Structure 1
Amino acid sequence: MDHNASLSNSGGIGRRRLLTSGGLAAAGVVAGADPARAGRGRIPPDTRPGGAFDRYVAKLAADGRFSGVVLLAHRGRTVLSRSYGMADKAKGIRNHEGIAFNLSSASQPFLAVAVLQLLQQGRLTLSDPVGRHLRDLSGEIAEKVTIHHLLTSTSGLDAPMPDWQRVFHSRPEVHEYAEQWVRQATLVGVPGAASNGHRPGGGVGLAMAALIVEAVSGMTFWDYVHRRVFRRCGMTGSAFYTREQWLTDEHIAHPYMSQADGSLVDAVRNLDQGSVDPFTQGRNPGRGFIGHASGGGFATAPDLVRFAEALRDGTVLDRPYADLFAGAKLPGPDPTSFDGYTMPISISNGQWVIGRGGADGGVGANWSIYPDTGWVGVVLSNDDHLPIQDLLLRQEAAITGAPVSPPSGGGG
Structure 2
Amino acid sequence: MNKQIIEYIQSMAAEIHFSGSVFVKQGDQILADCSFGLANRSEKMNNVSDTKFGMASGSKLFTAIAICQLAEEGRLSYYSLLGDCLNQSFPHFSQEITIHQLLTHTSGIPDYFDEEVMEDYEELWINKPMYHVRGPKDFLPLFQNEKMKYDPGSKFHYNNAGYILLGLIVEQVSGMAFTDYVEKNIFERVVMDAGYFETDSLPSKAALGYIDQSDGSWKTNIFSLPAKGGPDGGAYITACGIIQLWEALTAGRLLDKQNVQQLLAPHIRVDDSTAYGYGIWMKTEKHSVTKHLLMGYDPGVNFRAAFYPHPSLCISVCSNQSGGAFDMIKGIESELMKELTS
Give TM-score scaled by structure 2 length.
Answer: 0.88
Distance in 1, matches of 2:104 and 2:253, equals 24
Aligned match of 2:118: none
Distance in 1, matches of 2:97 and 2:36, equals 45
Q: 2:131 aligns with which of 147, 166, 169?
A: 169
TM superposition shift of 1:191:
0.8
Count how many residue pairs are aligned between Structure 1 and Structure 2. 329
Paired residue type of 2:199: R
Distance in 2, matches of 1:337 and 1:389, equals 16
Q: 1:186 aligns with which of 125, 147, 150?
A: 147
Contact 2:107 2:151 in 1 (8 A): yes
Structure 1 residues 367-376 or 342-351, which shifts more?
342-351
Q: Deviations for 1:67-88, whole angstroms, at most 9, x for unmatched residues?
A: 1111101225421111111111
Matched residue SS, 2:13: helix
Q: 2:182 aligns with which of 196, 211, 225?
A: 225
Matched residue SS, 2:63: helix
Contact 2:112 2:139 in 1 (8 A): no
Contact 1:57 1:66 in 2 (8 A): no
**Percent of aligned positions with the same letter in both sequences?**
25
Q: Sort the Cα spacing of 1:360 and 1:368 in 2 relative to 1 into closer, same or farther, 3 A.
A: same
Distance in 2, matches of 1:401 and 1:346, equals 19
Q: Does 1:58 align with 2:10?
A: yes
TM superposition shift of 1:351:
6.2
Q: Does 1:73 align with 2:10?
A: no
Which structure is richer in relative contact order (CA contacts within 8 A, separation 6 or more)?
1
Aligned match of 1:354: 292
Q: 1:84 aligns with which of 18, 36, 42?
A: 36
Distance in 2, matches of 1:313 and 1:208, equals 28
Q: 1:134 aligns with which of 86, 102, 123?
A: 86
TM superposition shift of 1:160:
4.5
Distance in 1, matches of 2:166 and 2:143, equals 10
Aligned match of 1:383: 321
Q: Does 1:154 align with 2:106?
A: yes
Contact 2:112 2:143 in 1 (8 A): no
Aligned match of 2:52: 100
Q: Deviations for 1:91-115, whole angstroms, at most 9, x for unmatched residues?
A: 2211111100000111111000000
Q: Deviations for 1:139-175, whole angstroms, at most 9, x for unmatched residues?
A: 763621000000000001114547234443367x544
Aligned match of 1:214: 171
Distance in 1, matches of 2:13 and 2:311, equals 29
Distance in 1, matches of 2:90 and 2:108, equals 14
Paired residue type of 1:375: L
TM superposition shift of 1:390:
2.9
Aligned match of 1:122: 74
Contact 1:99 1:253 in 2 (8 A): yes
Aligned CA-pair RMSD: 2.5
Aligned match of 1:43: none
Paired residue type of 1:338: A
Q: Does 1:241 align with 2:197?
A: yes
Q: Does 1:322 align with 2:322?
A: no
Q: Does 1:261 align with 2:215?
A: yes
Matched residue SS, 1:301: coil
Paired residue type of 2:205: H
Matched residue SS, 1:210: helix
Contact 2:59 2:234 in 1 (8 A): yes
Q: Sort the Cα spacing of 1:377 and 1:183 in 2 relative to 1 into closer, same or farther, 3 A.
A: same
Matched residue SS, 2:130: coil
Contact 2:136 2:164 in 1 (8 A): no
Contact 1:258 1:264 in 2 (8 A): yes
Contact 2:111 2:162 in 1 (8 A): no
Distance in 1, matches of 2:16 and 2:149, equals 44
Q: List gaps (5 residues or longer) in structure 2.
A: 114-120
Q: Sort the Cα spacing of 1:98 and 1:389 in 2 relative to 1 into closer, same or farther, 3 A.
A: closer
Q: Sort the Cα spacing of 1:240 and 1:146 in 2 relative to 1 into closer, same or farther, 3 A.
A: same
Contact 1:131 1:141 in 2 (8 A): no
Q: Deviations for 1:116-146, whole angstroms, at most 9, x for unmatched residues?
A: 0001001100111100011233476362100
Matched residue SS, 2:17: coil
Give TM-score scaled by structure 1 length.
Answer: 0.74
Contact 2:302 2:321 in 1 (8 A): yes
Paired residue type of 1:226: E
Contact 1:73 1:376 in 2 (8 A): yes
Structure 1 residues 179-188 or 316-325, which shifts more?
179-188
Contact 1:345 1:354 in 2 (8 A): yes
Distance in 2, matches of 1:348 and 1:83, equals 33
TM superposition shift of 1:360:
1.3
Distance in 1, matches of 2:63 and 2:112, equals 22
